[in-house]
Amino acid sequence: MKALSTAMLVAAASVQHGYGRVESTPQAQLARACLERCGAGGRWLLRLADHALGRVCLSALEALGLPGLRGHYAWRKRRIAQWADRACADGAAQAVLIGSGYDGLGWSLAQRHPMLRVFELDRTDSVAIKREALRQLQADMSRLRLLGTDLERDGALGTLLADPAFDPDRPTLCVAEGVLMYLSSARAQHLLRGLAQGLPCPILIATTMEPWCGRPRFRRERPWVSGWLQRRGEPFRWGCERGAIGAWLGECGWRLRTLAEPGDPDDPDPSPGEWLFLAHRATVPPR
C-alpha cells in the first residue's frame, strides 16, 4: 500500500463530510477523484469512507490518534472560505494557494468568482494527480493553474513569476493552509517575505501550529502521532505562541488583522492547536 499522507487524510475527511448529502460538494467530488488516483492507500480510505462499518473504523482511528480532527478541518475550511470570498469581493483578482494538496478551495473560488484567476502550488506528483482528477470532473480550468514546485527549495513568488498567466501587479489573495508548519521557521518566513515584497497589495490567509507540551502539536494529539508524521516525512517543524504571531508576521512583512478564536462559544474549534489568521502586507515590508 502506498504510504498514507496528511493530504490523503484531509481528502478522506472531505469525502466523509460530504457523505449522505443530496448533492456532493465540489470539495468532496475532487477529494474522491484525487484519492482514486493515490494508489492502494487512497482506494483503501475511500472504501472505508463509503461503508458504514468503515466510517466507524475511521472514527475510532481518529479517537485513538487525534480526537476532533475532522471537525477541526471543517472548522478551518469554513473560515478560510468566508475570508477568501470576502477578499475576492473586495477586489482580489488572483488567488494563490500554496501547498494546496487535494483541496477544492481553488476550484470553488474560480466557480464563485468569474473574474478570478487561481494559481495552486504544490509538489509535482500532487499536482499531476489533481490535474487528472479535475479533468475527470470536466472542470473548467481556463482560470485555474496548477504549478509544480518544491517549497523547501523554490520561492513561491519565483514559481508564480515564471508562469506567463500570473500578473504580479494585480491584487492577490495568498492562502497557505496547513503547510507552513512543515517548513522550517526560517523557510516559512522566507516564503512569506517574498510574497510581501513582490506583490503590491496582497492579503494572506494562513495557519501555523501552537507549541504545546514542549513541541508544535494539537492539544488533544496522542503521543504516537508525532512519530507517525516523522516516519512519513511530514513532522511539524515549528510552532508559534498566540502572543508572538503578530511579531513573527511583522518580520515577514505582514500585519496581523484577524486571528480565528478556537474558543468561540458559538463555533469552537473541535481540536485546537493550529492557529488560523488573516494578514495584510505591512506598509513597508522588510528587506
Last residue of a domain, one of 41, 65, 89: 65
Model confidence at 50: pLDDT above 80:
yes
Q: State the cell numbers at 181.
A: 508548519
The answer as to whether 266 is a domain residue is yes
- Is 179 in the same domain as 206? yes
- CATH classification at residue 143: 3.40.50.150
Boundaries of domain holding 237: 69-281
Cα dist. 182→66, 151, 177, 178, 270 in Å?
A: 18, 10, 11, 8, 22
The answer as to whether 1 is a domain residue is no
What is the reported pTM? 0.94
pLDDT tens for residues 260-283?
999 999 999 999 999 999 999 997
Shortest CA distance to 6 belongs to which of 84, 73, 75? Answer: 73
Q: What does the pLDDT average to over 193-208?
A: 95
The answer as to whether 287 is a domain residue is no
Model confidence at 285: pLDDT above 60:
no
Which pLDDT band, with edges at 50, 70 and 90, does 53 fall under? very high
- Is 14 in the same domain as 82? no
pLDDT tens for residues 1-38?
457 899 999 999 999 876 656 456 888 999 999 999 99
Model confidence at 286: pLDDT above 70:
no
The answer as to whether 89 is a domain residue is yes
The mean pLDDT of the chain is 93
The answer as to whether 85 is a domain residue is yes
Structural domain count, the chain:
2
The answer as to whether 102 is a domain residue is yes
Provide the pLDDT for residue 60.
95
